[in-house]
Structure 1
Amino acid sequence: MEEELRRAAFGDSPGREVWSALSAASPRLRWLAAVVLGGQGHYAAAATVLDRLRLDPDPVIASLALSTRASHLRQLGAHHLARPLDGAALARVRTTGGGDPDGIDADGARTDALLGLAADSLGAGRLVEARRLLALVGTTGSWRGSVRRGWVSAEVELASGRAHAAVAPAEEAYGVATSRKALRHELKSALVLGTSLVVWGTPDGLTRGVELVECELNHSATMGLHPLIWPSALVLVGHATTVGAVAIDRATEALSCVLRRADPVSRQVALDSPWVPSGLLRSGEPPNADPQTNFLTD
């Protein structure tokens, strides 16, 4: 079962049905299932599992559960709720050790916590702090850590108004995820890279960026990866004439689906957050906030 769950969480089958694994005896299997469910936008179901695993006696599992829960909150715009969880995740990992291919080890847990804290700082507009935390990550021992570091690095550059500098880390993340055939990470990397290219706005970059995001959107929709659909659709608005109002409809449908699957607290936070375009649900129009730099870190 673990191999199947790893393929769903970090491999070629992110749309796999994993509900039965929520009752598995192994905490590691339950954590993997929660990762998959979060990628599909089943945030409330994932939270139920993760909130129990954060108390697990294994510090690695507890840390990973805290970081994953923080990531899901951050995707809903709740950076202020994610930050203490990421801090707790870092505090739980007091040893070192790697070797797991997907970073399910002490080193991977530390990397996840630091990257989560950097993303939390980014969401609060503390860019200097975000850069300092990124520097603490250093060279990661797993492909997953390398990919996520590329995402956060690109987002920091975008938030700093340096879209040209966002392209290189985004490109690196996309290359690593693609080489690993980690489909969900590949699609998220395509979104980050495509967004960076679109915001940079060079003629060739704009063309490639739109193609990347449009392809990613179609694959995410096919796989049922709702948290990737609405930001992708919003990036295309105004940049892909063939998409038009269809993109808004897709974004609205996906965001509505994600919020229905969230727990009540997270849902309310998302509706109030400037990071989440909840205006779509009220007016059918894009929000005032620029969606191109607010696609959130996984």
Structure 2
Amino acid sequence: MKEEDLRRAAFGDSPDLDVWQALAAAGPRARWLAAVVLGGQGHYAAAATALDALRHDPDPVIASLALSTRASHLRQLGAHHLARPLDGAALAKAPQAGPRDPDGVDAAGARTDALLGLAADSLGAQRLHEARRLLARVETRSWRSEVRKGWVTAEIELASGQARQAVEPAEAAHRTATSRKALRHELKSALVLGTSLVVWGTPDGLNRGLELVECELNHSAEKRLKPLVWPSALVLAGHAPTVGATAIDRATEALSCVLRRADAVSRRVALDSPWVPSGLLRSGEPPNADPQTNFLTD
């Protein structure tokens, strides 16, 4: 499988591409790209196997990116405490300089991914001042870093009760991802932006936010991006009564699928995590956790 195709799947217009054969590729970059794609599709166990091997790769950029990608997948399942040491190790491995890459698969991108991961870990632990300090250290030198910084910035503002301040960085992330035709990043950005607008709650913002999230949900489901489906469905369930029951069903189906595809440790942690609405898997009732701030950190 060509690296160009893997990049289209990881960072472009084909996030639903079948990349399984690339897990056996000779080059570590191809295997890392495949793990990124599989994580986006919710195949966390398969991605974890590849990433756990790549964290020991002789190339420090790939080793660092593997660690921070694995941390991101753990965080998406509510395991912020397990993600934090991996992000710390990723930062330690990231080289200070090296050749530039258009998608941030380079030394600067590795360092940025690690710092953004640490900021998201701090957010998950409700250490907001620490999250802001880490965010202030981030230097963005690629479109991907700009988008991810926008996500984390918006999420910190949401967690701080400052929804209005979350809209601008979310808007910028959505604009950048859309301009790059990076579909998975565009859809995640639409979720972050839509949620920010919904939480802000102005009449126009609420309508636009719900439209963004509903459109994103349908597109994410079409592209089989399960990790984006369940938080989107829960946002709609909480704010769009006409689709509430259907949204809960879609959230349950997507989250069940994601957990079935996770490794045993991640699955066990997710079921006990306050960040993951696993209660709906047991009772069929809407979760007590708040999807406005808890399900976005990446």
Give the counterpart letter for 1:265 in structure 2: V
Name the amino acid aligned to 2:279. Answer: G
Q: Does residue 24 of structure 1 match 2:25?
A: yes
- Distance apart, 1:56 and its partner CA: 0.2
Equivalent position of 2:188 in the other structure: 188
The two structures have a TM-score, normalised by structure 2, of 0.99
C-alpha distance in 1 between matches for 2:296 and 2:88: 18
Shift of 1:236: 0.4
Q: Distance in 1 between matches of 2:64 and 2:289?
A: 33
User: For structure 1, which segment, 288-297 or 1-10, has the greater mean C-alpha deviation from structure 2 after superposition?
Assistant: 288-297
Regions of 4+ moved over 3 Å: none
Distance 1:121 1:98, change over 3 A: farther
- Paired residue for 1:119? 120
Which region of structure 1 is more displaced relative to structure 2, 96-105 or 10-19?
Answer: 96-105
1:136 aligns with 2:137: yes
Quick one: distance in 1 between partners of 2:244 and 2:111? 42
Shift of 1:297: 2.3
Give per-residue Cα distances to partners, 1:90-149, cap 9 Å, x unaligned: 0001322352010000000000000000000000000000000000003x1100000000
2:64/2:93 contact within 8 Å kept? yes
How many residues of Structure 1 are paired with residues of Structure 2 in the alignment? 297
Displacement of 1:241 in angstroms is 3.1
Q: For 1:280 and 1:261, how far apart are their aligned partners in 2?
A: 18
1:253 matches 2:260: no
Contact 1:197–1:208 under 8 Å retained in 2? yes
Distance between the aligned counterparts of 1:15 and 1:193, measured in 2? 22
Question: What is the correspondence of 1:142-221 to structure 2 with a 5 Å cutoff?
Answer: 142-221=142-221
Identity score, percent: 83
1:218 partner SS: helix
Q: Partners in 1 of 2:207 and 2:187 — Cα distance? A: 18
CA–CA distance in 2 between the matches of 1:285 and 1:201? 25
Aligned to 2:269: 269
SS in structure 1 opposite 2:186? helix
Equivalence for 1:223: 223
Consecutive unaligned residues of structure 2, counting only runs of 5 or more, are: none
What SS is found at the alignment partner of 1:125? coil
Measured after TM superposition, the shift of residue 242 of structure 1 is 3.1
Partners of 1:170 and 1:92 in 2: CA distance: 29
TM-score (norm 1): 0.99
What amino acid maps onto 2:66 in structure 1? A
Q: Hey, what's the Cα distance between the residues in 1 that align with 2:133 and 2:279?
A: 34
1:74 aligns with 75
In the alignment, is the contact (CA less than 8 A) between 2:61 and 2:95 conserved in 1?
no
Residue 50 of structure 1 deviates from its aligned partner by 0.2
Mapped partners of 1:29, 1:69: distance in 2? 16
For residues 263 and 227 of structure 2, the distance between their equivalents in structure 1, rounded to whole angstroms, comes to 15
Aligned-residue offset at 1:243: 1.1
The answer to whether structure 1 residue 243 and structure 2 residue 259 are counterparts is no
SS at match of 1:289: coil
* Bigger mean CA deviation after superposition, 73-82 or 95-104: 95-104
1:58 is matched with 59
| Aligned mates of 1:63, 1:296 — CA distance in 2 | 22
Q: Give how far 1:244 is off.
A: 2.2
- What is the CA–CA distance in structure 2 between the aligned matches of 1:202 and 1:213, rounded to whole Å? 16
For the aligned residues, what is the CA RMSD? 0.7
SS at match of 1:237: helix
* SS class of match (2:239): coil
2:110 aligned residue:
109
